[in-house]
Amino acid sequence: MSVWKVSGGKKLFGDIRIQGSKNAVLPIMAAAIITGCETELLNCPQLSDVEAAMAILRHLGCKAERDGDTVWIDSRGMNRTDIPHDLMREMRSSVIFLGAILARAHEAALSYPGGCELGARPIDLHLEALRSLGAEISEQGGSLYCRDKGLKGARINLSFPSVGATENAMLAACGAEGETVITNAAKEPEIIDLQDFLRKLGAEITGAGSSTITISGFVPQEKIGHRVMTDRIVSATALCCTASAGGCVTLKGVVPAYFETVTSVLESMGCEIERRSTSVKITSDGKLHAPRPIVTRPYPGFPTDAQPLLMAASLKAAGTTVFTENIFENRYRHVPELLRFGADISVVGRVAVVTGVNELIAAPVTAADLRGGAALITAALGARGLTTVYDTGHVVRGYDDFDKMLLSLGADISYDPETLASVV
Ligand code: EPZ
């Protein structure tokens, strides 16, 4: 059990550089095994999810080393095609390795990725896409067994623009004979970063960022260098932290357009925003008013990952903020914990209604998932008193040195990864 302690009421001031993107680097690390090659990844965030992906690569027979924010992968020695339960359990999004293993070895065995705190997390769209390319997939004893007699290019229409299914289809298509066209593809920026990497790997691929992606060939390269894009959700988190605590913070080295949906909502709540080509500056006196209703949608809509964070920033906003969570069926697990601060939130199905209160009072709370845990820390920054957030390792899955980032801005926060404190 790890513990974050936040003494609220301190405004945040300063400049920060945002970490590399968790949701971009994970599919890129999977892509590095499509062909035997040496890959150097720059701007790799230091996250437990990245460590989990490195453990999978090593299990498959690859080399995976880290030096600071650089990760080297040598996949020439890959000699296995299975991912066992203990490694799948570490990170359910490891299913993203399936398409890449099939593209390389034309067989794969994975322990079925279970659900998570956000819900069932089915992978039916992933499997449908791989079957369209000719994969034969059976499920037995909690595992998926996949094989193909040579993947064939196909037209894949996704019934929902699933990020993971789009990525798995892209990776497998690199190992297919002939052209693959993916329609109703996810348009998230992380898909564009994956396309950039796949082009360096030797893929003829176009369309990422639009709803139609075409992979029409693959000439493997042996050495690839790539700088991972900046994390747009961590960028949104830093903005919400400043809105919650008040202050003036500049995010550097970012792509403002990638999180403009969140930035514009905070601006409508009364924050002052200054946008430049690679930076965003936010100024807030901490006195906010409620924004228009927030509805989460696939990109370029409002991102589901930022919903908990914006909710934390809206708890003292004058008026009523209405959230509708359309992406995951169970993404309000931070609400009962936020209520412990004295927040006023009611949830009916996918709708959460937040009525602004004058003050939040610190309380011991427990992180239930990654972004929900970050939301508790965000709320604690704007609460009176010392908040303790108990966390079984959720936040460090996606945030690299979150405490150090906030400390550099003047927050009064400490993080103890190994506290054996009894949960209150
Ligand atoms: C990715 O998850 C991200 N994770 C999530 O970030 C993010 O919330 C999500 O995309 C949406 O943007 C990574 O990139 C590692 P989906 P993914 O497939 O790929 C349903 C975070 O906090 N669905 O777009 O799993 C699914 O149940 C994490 O960083 C199917 O029904 O998201 C969900 O309701 C959380 N069948 C919806 O689609 C499928 O085969 C969106 O899922 C696949 C998905």
What is the reported pLDDT for 119?
74
b/e burial code for range 174-196 (CB count within 10 A of at least 16 → b): bbbeeebbbebbbbbbbbbbbbb
Note whether 273 and 281 are within 8 A (CB): yes
How many A from CA of 312 to the centre of ligand 1? Answer: 22
Residue tagged 């593209």 (tokens): 103
Mean local confidence (pLDDT), 99-115: 92
347, β-bridge pairs: 352
Nearest residue by C-alpha to atom 28 in ligand 1:
305
45, pLDDT greater than 80: yes
Phi, psi of 403 (to 5 degrees): -65, -45
Domain coverage including residue 150? 22-227
Residues 236 and 376 both lie in one domain: yes
Residue 394 lies in a domain: yes
What is the reported pLDDT for 112?
84
* 296 Cβ below 6 A of ligand 1: no
- Among 227, 246, 262, the domain-final residue is 227
419, pLDDT greater than 70: no
117, pLDDT greater than 80: no
- Identify the CATH number of the domain in which residue 116 sits: 3.65.10.10
Residues 220 and 238 both lie in one domain: no
Q: In percent, how much of the chain has pLDDT > 90?
A: 92
What is the reported pLDDT for 330?
85
Residue 423 lies in a domain: no
Query: What is the token pair recorded at 172?
Result: 């497998």
Which candidate, 288, 339, 295, places its Cα nearest to that of 318?
288
Which residues carry out catalysis? 116
> Which pLDDT tens digit goes with each residue over 50-66?
999 999 999 999 999 99
The mean-pLDDT minimum among 4-13, 140-149, 156-165, 184-193 falls in 140-149
> Which pLDDT tens digit goes with each residue over 153-164?
999 999 999 999
Residues 116 and 217 both lie in one domain: yes
Domain count, the chain: 2
Residue 357 lies in a domain: yes
> Which pLDDT tens digit goes with each residue over 305-339?
999 999 999 999 999 999 999 999 889 999 999 99
Residues 275 and 410 both lie in one domain: yes
Question: What's at 281, amino acid-wise?
Answer: K
Specify the DSSP element, H or E, that contains 23.
helix 22-31
Residues 86 and 118 both lie in one domain: yes
Residues 367 and 306 both lie in one domain: yes
Nearest residue by C-alpha to atom 44 in ligand 1:
162
Question: What's at 338, amino acid-wise?
Answer: L
Distance (Å, whole) CA 47 – CA 256:
23
Mean local confidence (pLDDT), 2-13: 97
Distance (Å, whole) CA 71 – CA 54:
9
What is the reported pLDDT for 424?
41
> Which pLDDT tens digit goes with each residue over 267-306?
999 999 999 999 999 999 989 999 999 999 999 999 999 9
Q: What is the DSSP letter of 229?
A: P
> Which pLDDT tens digit goes with each residue over 162-178?
999 999 999 999 999 99
Nearest residue by C-alpha to atom 9 in ligand 1:
163
Residues 120 and 192 both lie in one domain: yes
Residue 424 lies in a domain: no
Residue 292 lies in a domain: yes
How many A from CA of 274 to the centre of ligand 1? Answer: 31
Distance (Å, whole) CA 421 – CA 415:
13
Residues 90 and 171 both lie in one domain: yes
Mean local confidence (pLDDT), 207-219: 97
Residues 178 and 236 both lie in one domain: no
